[in-house]
Each structure stands twice: as structure tokens, then as C-alpha cells.
Amino acid sequence: MKFLHLLSTEASQDITFHCLSDLPVSPTDTYSDNGPGQEYQDRPPRFRGWNGQMFEADTLLEPLPDECKIQDGSWHQSRFFFHTQDSYELPIVEIQEPPSSQPNHLLHFEVGPVCFL
């Protein structure tokens, strides 16, 4: 990895969340970590890069359309694209606060390869 970092001036990677959300039992049902009936707090995920850099909503993270918020009983996806001119920031080594704290919510991560340029 160190050799790739030394020879590269840019890097990019994408991560996709595949999610399946069941329909709520009734339109007024809400979920949270505190139990049913309390509002669910939707937090954007955070990612930690190779050198410890945290990628959040206001950093180099480029979120593409977030379809995981759709709760219709079908599979959807949310994609995140990372592009940086500091190649030491990639690959992503940790995902924090994934959107999976709702009941009846399945989540699958697809971590794409890193492209060093």
C-alpha cells in the first residue's frame, strides 16, 4: 500500500449501501434507538480513511442520491464516491454510523476498489 501511495497523486473509491426497508406497520409508526413511537434520527454515515481522515457530509465525501430513505419493501441503494488528491486518505478502512438502526432493515455494503492515479 505504501508503494501505491508514494507513486500516486490522486485516488478514488466508491462504497454502496444496499438496503431493504420493510413498510411501516402504519403511517404514524416511527422508530428510534429508544424504541417504537419515538422519532428516528437519520444520521449520515461517516467514513475513516487510511490515514485517519474522517469523511463526513461536509468533506470530500460526494453522496449520490440516497435511495435508502425509501421504505417500500424493495431493495434500494445509496452510493458514496470519494475522490482526493491526497492518495494517503484512501482506501476507506472503517464505516461509522451506517443507516441500519431501524427495525426490519437489512443492509449490505459493497466496497469498490481504490483507483490510484
Instruction: Please provide the distance, in angstroms rounded to a whole number, between the alpha carbons at the two ends of the chain.
Output: 13
Residue 28 lies in a domain: no
Spatial separation of the C-alpha atoms in residues 84 and 102, rounded to whole Å: 32
Residue 75 structural domain: 2-23+41-116
Residue 36 lies in a domain: no
Residue 32 lies in a domain: no
Residue 55 lies in a domain: yes
What per-residue confidence (pLDDT) applies to 23?
Answer: 60
Segment 19-67, tens digit of pLDDT? 887 665 444 444 444 444 334 445 678 899 999 988 886 665 656 777 8
Q: What is the pTM of this model?
A: 0.74
Spatial separation of the C-alpha atoms in residues 115 and 87, rounded to whole Å: 10
Residue 34 lies in a domain: no
Spatial separation of the C-alpha atoms in residues 65 and 20, rounded to whole Å: 16
Residue 29 lies in a domain: no
CB burial class (10 A; 0-12, 13-18, 19+) of residue 88? middle
Residue 48 lies in a domain: yes
Higher-confidence residue: 9 or 103?
9
Q: Which domain CATH number covers 88?
A: 2.60.120.1000
- pLDDT surpasses 60 at 79: yes
Number of domains in the chain: 1
Is beta strand 46-49 parallel, antiparallel or unpaired with respect to 54-55? antiparallel
Higher-confidence residue: 26 or 117?
117
Residue 15 lies in a domain: yes
